[in-house]
Structure 1
């Protein structure tokens, strides 16, 4: 099958184009993107589409980068294609952020692509990813982050900036693209950095892929079929998972989700993974975070049982908590009416902490307790630090909060405790609670202390909380 027919068939099978589409083609000047631009210039009447181009000069290779832009501009002028071009000072951004060069280049490049899409009539961004890129992506995912999502590789199309991003060359190899360009007598620019092993993808391209091709010259084609099947299977399973998600996961707000673990456990494991993936897509924008195998596994493990309390800290200040048979994922945010986050932490190293209600708290080792720390109004509460893992912190009441009190077999709901202690209704939601590192309420400051504290030192007590 000829190059042109393979691309045409792929576009039709994946429904990448519709009559009247306005394409914005990303062109670096390299072999792949020049072939992409040429293909659509030659076939725009057949597809009944409009074509524009977009180019980014990352300013990383000095004069060579500027020459790339001039080369693309000349070709576009000769073929009556409008070019949107921009210089982005990546070296300056790198100096400020000290980040990964490739990631920053990609972020800035795609941000410009998005801006151009939004200010023009273009409805689809087109990139020149091909079958070799697909193979490399799967191999990289396999060695780094082999999740069900990452192993599907590059998709033919996805939503981008409220519009579409399509990849019509995913079915053809780089050698086929080179042959097409040679047959058409077209020139291109070679990026010298492509020959270096500095980047992970280049190392796979130069060393791993040739070994696989020596074993099976059609390995790229095999992987293309493999990813297509995975994508089709996953699309079906994700449709099922979306239905289940709406049934068992409750969204309280954009930063809080809750579900009953027993209901989650009744779902097949394949759908459990996808339920978590859907949830992560709501919480995060970064694809590396969403596709993290460690993150997926840790949340699944948290749902292995309904018994006891457990929590895991997630990226971007989210917290996943298992409590009373429920899993809650929420943003850790300071609540109105309490001290700022940096003053909430209470440990032996922090000295005095003053709460908004005027109370002062301090934790000291028992052997460091001295009369200089005490006033006539100070109250002392002794405890064993191995049972109450420090540091403590202070927050306001949340729905469902309970505290275990001496003489009781079950924790008491704080809503009931506030009623029993005659705390004014308007003060209950901002009353300071002392919280252990495991997010357990251990004291209602100025009202009741939990089971772990005593007013006289017990044999194993080694630490004291001073309330003044």
Structure 2
């Protein structure tokens, strides 16, 4: 293991001589092996080592015992040790995040502060090759962007220095063999056996299958991660140059504009990355309810050539296309009439500006409907579907009614407040035929389709 890790450190230039290295130590096998390895090479590389361990106040006091164990190890090895306590449960409640996310965010806050306090050059963490496999596969299952497939980075910036992960060169088995060779003790987190946690499930059920098929899967995955990371870095640099050429940033305000024609001249790979760079600039911290659906609607609006139309993003960010001139700005009044318009993919869903959702699925058998669902034959309408708000003079053919009815009268009959009518979602087909005033009235559509049906679901929870 030592030779593999040393070669990995040299190849990536992770540690320089005379560096101050902050080491995150939980007491588990990975971090204990890392701390021991760095201690072993401390004099050769003339390092200053500082261990940091965090008590998350979880697991009925076990985390406090972990910290005491780390302190004892550090005292034995003559390594300064900093212990910090964080309140995960309180943070979780305040931020509305999972326990795992809360613990991670608080832990990294501690690391960041100590980087400045100790004037450290790098923070060394014990992630290993098996962690990389789990991360890559988990992201492949859940996330549709190539950027997410970079996996765990070998190094990344942290305010005050860098995070490095020297053990990505070795597997869990390598680490356990190293601990056994040097007769090192460590703590075991019992929650690691609970496969209700997503990562534990992959660790116990998926990774062993991959290793059985390819004993060298860890090297394959790490090479893939590094290659994708290098490719992504290059594409990000190109996307930044694209944004600088195309986008006009208005002074003293988070507002931008550009022409659709100039934006669409660039390759799609750069367009997608430019879109995310723009959102990062405008938002600073991306809202949690931002999804891939917003990317779909962004490019749909970008390609429209006639007239003026808008779509709304979370936190009152509006994108407007005025005959090919694109504007993104905050602060549109929520009480005024919305020009919200977007495509509804089938299957797929659209998050509306007010937090409600409309989902479209394909079903073979037509299920029973209720006021929140609408089912109709796929071959009875023209795709794609659109979601928009009402227009002056809108009428629709209402199911069960011999003729059409004004949308104004539909809202009045349903006693919908005037303040809500201008933003009420209306689903049309590609010919502009109104199919559904969501949750209120359904159109008369052909009922004898020969193939699949479309099921629309309107979630009114905000």
Q: TM-score, normalization: structure 2?
A: 0.70
Preserved CA contact (<8 Å) 1:24 1:124: yes
Q: Which residues of 2 match residues 311-350 of structure 1 at below 5 A? A: 311-332=310-331, 344=335
Q: Which residues of 2 match residues 84-95 of structure 1 at below 5 A? A: 84-95=82-93
Preserved CA contact (<8 Å) 2:289 2:314: no
Preserved CA contact (<8 Å) 1:145 1:291: no
Preserved CA contact (<8 Å) 2:112 2:160: no
Give the match for residue 396 of structure 1: none
Do the aligned partners of residues 388 and 248 (structure 1) sit closer, same or farther apart at CA in structure 2, a change above 3 Å counting?
farther
Deviations 1:129-170 (A, max 9, x none): 111111111111111112111011111111112421111111
Give the match for residue 268 of structure 1: 267
Give the match for residue 124 of structure 1: 122
Give the match for residue 198 of structure 1: 196
Q: Quick one: distance in 1 between partners of 2:186 and 2:287?
A: 32
For the residue of structure 2 that corresponds to 1:62, the secondary structure is helix
Q: Quick one: distance in 2 between partners of 1:281 and 1:260?
A: 19
Q: Quick one: distance in 2 between partners of 1:84 and 1:270?
A: 45
Q: TM-score, normalization: structure 1?
A: 0.69
Preserved CA contact (<8 Å) 1:251 1:257: yes
Deviates more, 1:90-99 or 1:8-17: 90-99
Shift of 1:307: 3.1
Q: Quick one: distance in 1 between partners of 2:13 and 2:295?
A: 32
Shift of 1:20: 2.5
Shift of 1:287: 7.5
Deviations 1:84-113 (A, max 9, x none): 111212234445555311011111111111
For the residue of structure 1 that corresponds to 2:22, the secondary structure is strand
Give the match for residue 61 of structure 2: 63
Could you list the runs of 5+ residues in structure 2 that have no partner in the other structure?
339-390, 396-405, 412-416, 425-462
Q: Which residues of 2 match residues 42-57 of structure 1 at below 5 A? A: 42-57=40-55
Deviations 1:265-321 (A, max 9, x none): 110111112212322332455579699544433333332334333333323432222
Give the match for residue 309 of structure 2: 310
Cα RMSD for the two superposed structures:
3.0
Give the match for residue 212 of structure 1: 210
Give the match for residue 401 of structure 2: none
Preserved CA contact (<8 Å) 2:279 2:286: no
Shift of 1:346: 7.6
Pick from 10, 13, 30: which aligns with 2:11?
Answer: 13
Give the match for residue 73 of structure 1: 71
Do the aligned partners of residues 132 and 310 (structure 1) sit closer, same or farther apart at CA in structure 2, a change above 3 Å counting?
farther
Q: Quick one: distance in 2 between partners of 1:156 and 1:212?
A: 22
Give the match for residue 298 of structure 1: 297
Give the match for residue 137 of structure 1: 135
Give the match for residue 421 of structure 1: none
Pick from 144, 154, 160: which aligns with 1:156?
Answer: 154
Q: Quick one: distance in 2 between partners of 1:392 and 1:247?
A: 44
Deviates more, 1:285-294 or 1:162-171: 285-294
Q: Quick one: distance in 1 between partners of 2:306 and 2:56?
A: 54
Preserved CA contact (<8 Å) 1:255 1:331: yes
Give the match for residue 229 of structure 2: 231
Preserved CA contact (<8 Å) 2:287 2:314: no
Do the aligned partners of residues 286 and 218 (structure 1) sit closer, same or farther apart at CA in structure 2, a change above 3 Å counting?
farther
Preserved CA contact (<8 Å) 2:29 2:187: yes
> In terms of Rg, which structure is larger?
1
Preserved CA contact (<8 Å) 2:18 2:47: yes
For the residue of structure 2 that corresponds to 1:112, the secondary structure is helix
Shift of 1:260: 1.2
Shift of 1:243: 1.6
Give the match for residue 410 of structure 1: none
**Aligned length, in residue pairs:** 353
Give the match for residue 417 of structure 1: none
Pick from 28, 33, 38: which aligns with 1:35?
Answer: 33
Q: Quick one: distance in 1 between partners of 2:263 and 2:337?
A: 36
Q: Quick one: distance in 2 between partners of 1:116 and 1:179?
A: 31
Q: Quick one: distance in 2 between partners of 1:96 and 1:243?
A: 39
For the residue of structure 2 that corresponds to 1:159, the secondary structure is strand
Give the match for residue 179 of structure 1: 177
